[in-house]
């Protein structure tokens, strides 16, 4: 018996240092520039640890998020993935509290929005908007964020309890929100 597909699936990639000189080539040939953190954890962890020796952020790379197979984040939007995940969690937190969440990609003017419009919920990154069902989108996003930070903790060895705790707080807020909606 086949499992029901997950609503949200993400892939996280770490950027190979000093490789991107042509953004178009990066988008067309991502394998030249990125290492899949889940498929090649040792290589990704080595790149991350070496990067940490030079700056405080080892997780520069690309986050791809799909909702029922629809890509939600453009491959041209690479950034610090850990910061991006936490920005996404904060957008969800705000949405659950106020009905609208908004933020920006870390260190760039690329907007992120999660808002209700009529009977629909819209998730927007940059100029790409998709309709999502918050009842499976939000827990799916939180599960994927948790998977990412658990990967960091297990493969890099840093303490990610603060970020994992923040994700769990939003998960608890979602439970309360769900009871009202």
Residue 57's nearest CA partner among 86, 77, 28 is 86
* Contact yes or no for 61/12 (Cβ under 8 A): yes
DSSP-assigned beta bridge partners for residue 65: 10
Quick one: pLDDT band at residue 19, thresholds 50, 70, 90? Answer: low
Q: What whole-number percentage of the chain has pLDDT above 90? A: 66
Say how far apart CA 88 and CA 77 lie, in whole Å.
14
| pLDDT value, residue 31 | 79
Mean pLDDT score across all residues of the chain: 90
Furthest C-alpha separation in the chain: 49
53-58: average pLDDT = 75
Question: 0.85 exceeded by the pTM?
Answer: yes
69-97: average pLDDT = 91
- Kindly report, residue by residue over 20-36, the tens digit of the pLDDT: 677 777 778 777 888 99
| pLDDT value, residue 177 | 94
- Kindly report, residue by residue over 107-164, the tens digit of the pLDDT: 788 999 999 988 889 999 999 999 999 999 999 999 999 999 999 999 999 899 999 9
User: Which strand (E) or helix (H) includes residue 102?
Assistant: strand 100-104
């Amino acid at each position: 018996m086949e499992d029901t597909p997950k609503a949200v699936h993400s892939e996280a990639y770490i950027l190979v240092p000093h490789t991107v000189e042509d953004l178009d080539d990066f988008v067309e040939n991502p394998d030249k520039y990125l290492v899949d953190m889940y498929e090649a954890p040792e290589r990704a962890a080595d790149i991350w640890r070496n990067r940490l020796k030079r700056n405080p952020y080892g997780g520069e790379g690309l986050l791809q998020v799909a909702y029922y197979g629809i890509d939600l984040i453009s491959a041209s939007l690479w950034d610090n993935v850990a910061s991006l995940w936490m920005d996404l969690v904060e957008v969800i937190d705000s949405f659950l509290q106020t009905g609208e969440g908004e933020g920006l990609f870390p260190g760039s003017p690329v907007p992120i929005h999660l808002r209700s419009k009529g009977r629909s919920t819209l998730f927007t990154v940059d100029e790409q908007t998709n309709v999502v069902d918050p009842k499976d989108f939000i827990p799916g996003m939180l599960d994927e964020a948790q998977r990412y930070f658990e990967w960091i903790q297990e493969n890099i060895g840093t303490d990610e309890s603060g970020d994992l705790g923040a994700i769990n707080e939003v998960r608890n807020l979602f439970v309360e929100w769900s009871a009202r909606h």
